[in-house]
């Protein structure tokens, strides 16, 4: 695997010297990682880990962008502003259903694995790109490392839940951001499987710490005080009753404090078709923002309301109360700590959570997601693992 040349034994060569030479050959051999990413949150996570890989001797990373997020403001801008290495390959697979998307990604990633022959494949999170990459590698007996392993919403109606469960099962290195994630894997019997479960902390915390000084304001038209809101999940946007209930709650809350909503293109189209966008007051729609702009919004908002998984954690990083516009969350430690309340798509529950956070001081426990060095721990674990096999 490491390209170690055979060392011939002669009368003048001691066994100890042979072992030393062999060790040196392994230490200086280049180990190749093929990283598969495709969605905006994965770009942020990859930015942190790719920096750690680049700083590690004898590691080479090949980045494959599946194209799952392809809009200029949802994809390219992230590579530009976060200084993520330009992907070696862009598969440009998007705008098709889950089955077709995953199947096409699986086919193309398998071709790249056969061509590049990496020592390990790394995937992030819970997207179709994640599952396709892991499955392609597993079938070729290439070790798989899964960053953000062990997360569970316990809602099998979510495509992400299916993706993360299946990816965990075929991964060799399971990098867990929290103790809850490790507990989930142990309950599912992973301690009996041929894999390594490692608590690393959260790479998104690494990214938030690193990029915070570079935060930029997205537009001059942001109110002095505001609530940051994002809505994009199909469970909300594709069900008119849920979408209306959420915006009814936002409209009520906006009478008290303005709402700033960076609007996903898909959600904007749905709102326009429903006519909801014309009846809303004190809700400031802005275009999708880059990560540095999102950090600025997080730093300056009063509260967060979102159906995003990543933004729930980022609200915690910046000590902002969060109302999750979903019926479940993977980040159970946040709800347990009282810094995140589930509002679902229930108008009254959302307003109740808003009044709770507005009327009380929220205390944020420390280091729920590690110490900001998850990327280094992941990289070291990969090196140790590859040297051991």
- Cβ contacts of residue 347 below 8 Å, gap of 6+? 245, 246, 248, 249, 252
22 class by beta-carbon count within 10 Å (0-12 exposed, 13-18 middle, 19+ buried): middle
Q: Give the other-Cβ count within 10 Å of 173's Cβ.
A: 22
Name the H helices within 190-286. 203-211, 234-237, 240-254, 265-274
Of the residues 232, 264, 341, 356, only one is catalytic, namely: 232
The whole-angstrom separation of Cα 146 and Cα 150 is: 9
Contact 146, 175 (CB under 8 A): yes
- Name the residue with tokens 């003048």: 12
Q: Provide the β-strand partners of residue 35.
A: 63, 122
Active site (annotated) includes residue 356: no
Residue 289, both tokens: 């923002």
Edge-to-edge strands, sheet with 120-124: 89-90, 59-65, 31-37, 120-124, 144-147, 173-176, 196-199
Q: Give the other-Cβ count within 10 Å of 54's Cβ.
A: 12
Residue 371, both tokens: 């110490």
Active-site residue list: 232
């Amino acid at each position: 695997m490491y390209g170690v040349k055979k060392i011939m034994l002669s009368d003048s060569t001691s066994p100890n010297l042979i072992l030393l030479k062999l060790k040196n050959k392994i230490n200086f051999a280049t180990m190749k990682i093929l990283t598969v990413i495709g969605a905006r949150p994965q770009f942020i996570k990859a930015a942190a880990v790719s920096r750690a890989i680049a700083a590690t001797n004898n590691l080479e990373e090949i980045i494959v962008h599946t194209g799952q997020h392809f809009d200029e403001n949802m994809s390219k801008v992230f590579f530009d502003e976060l200084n993520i290495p330009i992907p070696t390959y862009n598969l440009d697979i998007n705008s098709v259903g889950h089955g077709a998307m995953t199947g096409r990604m699986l086919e193309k990633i398998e071709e790249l694995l056969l061509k590049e022959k990496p020592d390990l494949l790394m995937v992030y999170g819970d997207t179709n790109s994640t599952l396709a990459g892991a499955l392609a590698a597993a079938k070729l007996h290439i070790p798989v490392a899964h960053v953000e392993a062990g997360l569970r919403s316990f809602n099998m109606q979510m495509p992400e839940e299916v993706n993360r469960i299946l990816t965990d099962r075929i991964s060799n290195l399971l990098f867990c951001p929290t103790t809850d994630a490790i507990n989930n894997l142990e309950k599912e019997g992973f301690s009996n499987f041929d894999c390594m479960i490692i608590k690393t902390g959260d790479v998104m915390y690494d990214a938030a710490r690193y990029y915070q000084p570079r935060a930029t304001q997205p537009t001059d038209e942001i109110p002095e005080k505001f609530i940051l809101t994002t809505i994009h999940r199909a469970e909300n946007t594709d069900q008119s009753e849920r979408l209306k209930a959420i915006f009814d709650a936002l409209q009520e809350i906006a009478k008290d404090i303005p709402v700033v909503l960076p609007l996903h293109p898909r959600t904007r189209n749905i709102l326009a078709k429903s006519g909801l966008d014309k009846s809303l007051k004190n809700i400031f729609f802005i275009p999708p923002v880059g990560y540095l702009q999102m950090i600025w919004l997080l730093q300056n908002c009063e509260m967060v309301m979102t159906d995003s998984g990543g933004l729930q954690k980022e609200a915690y990083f910046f000590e902002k109360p969060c109302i999750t516009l979903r019926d479940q969350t993977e980040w159970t430690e946040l709800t347990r700590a009282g810094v995140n309340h589930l509002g679902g798509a229930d108008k009254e529950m959302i307003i109740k959570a808003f009044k709770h956070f507005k009327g009380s001081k929220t205390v944020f426990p420390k280091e729920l997601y590690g110490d900001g060095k998850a990327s280094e721990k992941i990289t070291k674990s990969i090196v140790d693992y590859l040297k051991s096999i």
